[in-house]
Each structure stands twice: as C-alpha cells, then as structure tokens.
Amino acid sequence: MKKVAIIMGSDSDLPKVEGAITTLEKYGIPFEVHIFSAHRTPEEARAFALSAKDNGFGAIIAAAGKAAHLAGAIAANTILPVIGIPIKASALEGIDALLSTVQMPAGIPVATVAIDGSANAAILAAQIIAVSDEALAERLASARAQASAAVLEKDAEISAKYNKN
Ligand code: RP5
C-alpha cells in the first residue's frame, strides 16, 4: 500500500495534527510524520516533496499555521496530491492559514480541509489511496455505514421523545 506523509510546519502544530495520525492508524494506512517548515527549513521541505513519489508515498498532508505556505511549497515540488490543513495558531484564529492554504493560483492545487480539520485530511488521503486498494475502500465504506447507523439511531430516539402525532 502507498504511504501517506504528514508534514507540519512546527512541533507546536502536533496537537492539531494528532487526529490525522490516529485516523490513518485506524484505517491501517502506513505513514510518516515530519516537521519541515517552508521558511525555516525550505531545502528539507523541497527535498522531501521531490522524492516523495519515488519513496512510496501516495498522498501528502501538510499542516501549518499563520502565513501557511507549507502546503503550497510542498505541492510545487511534487505531482502527488497535497492536502492542506490550516492550523489555528494566531490572533487571527486560523483564517490567515485558511486563506494562505486554500488560495493557490491555478496549476498547483492544494486540497484544503477545514481549520484544524485533521481527521478529514486523513480520510481524504485514505480515499486517494483507496482508489487502487479495494480492501481500504471497503473499510472506508464500512465506517460511513456505521456513522449513518449512529445518526439514524439518534433520530429514532429523538423521534420517540418528541414526535407524538
Ligand atoms: C507555522 O507557524 C507553523 O506551522 C505554526 O503553526 C506557526 C507557529 O510556529 P512556532 O512559532 O510555534 O514554531 O510555521
């Protein structure tokens, strides 16, 4: 199975990234976690992106806060799909990182999830890997079915409580 890379701009991002790690673990997807910064370690970030495809990765998750150019900088150096997580890390509540991550000019896309949306970043990465892995696709479909069943169970409970007519 292809690996997923999780790159964060700083170790201060780790608490927000842990949801992606646990989600990849849940689905049994091999992954690596790294700290590379677009501005503090630009050469290492570039080198990782340039070699990621040859090193067996199928998708890259990049998480950064503030002027969050990490995902775009990674995407500039690979044709692997790059998923950006804007991290809430400043007085601007993550809006700065959201706009920096999502507003990529045409040609170098970054698939941007919600501010601090690490679980969805991992699920999207899993769905990308699942395009060529039927067993993983079945695990993803099963998780969705369980989530649907949980909602319908709650609907039945609330209906029994309030819908008397
Ligand atoms: C970004 O700046 C990092 O991704 C982090 O979210 C933010 C603050 O970094 P630190 O100053 O905590 O290292 O580059």
Domain holding 158, by residue range, is 134-165
Instruction: Confirm or reject: Cβ of 35 under 6 Å from ligand 1.
Output: no
Claim to verify: residue 30 and residue 44 sit in the same structural domain: yes
Claim to verify: residue 125 and residue 151 sit in the same structural domain: no
Residue-wise pLDDT for 23-64, tens only, equals 999 999 999 999 999 999 999 999 999 999 999 999 999 999
Mean pLDDT value of segment 142-146: 98
Rounded distance between C-alpha atoms, residue 69 and residue 90, angstroms: 15
Instruction: Confirm or reject: Cβ of 76 under 6 Å from ligand 1.
Output: no
Q: What does pTM read for this prediction?
A: 0.96
Phi, psi of 10 (to 5 degrees): -155, 155
Q: How many helices (H) and strands (E) does the chain have?
A: 6, 5
Claim to verify: residue 141 and residue 89 sit in the same structural domain: no
| 85: confidence class by pLDDT, cuts 50, 70, 90 | very high
| Vertex 35: Cα angle to 31 and 36 (nearest 5) | 115
pLDDT at 123: 98
Phi, psi of 55 (to 5 degrees): -90, 10
Claim to verify: residue 127 and residue 138 sit in the same structural domain: no
Total count of domains within the chain: 2
12 CA distance to ligand 1 centroid (A)?
Answer: 6
Claim to verify: residue 35 and residue 115 sit in the same structural domain: yes
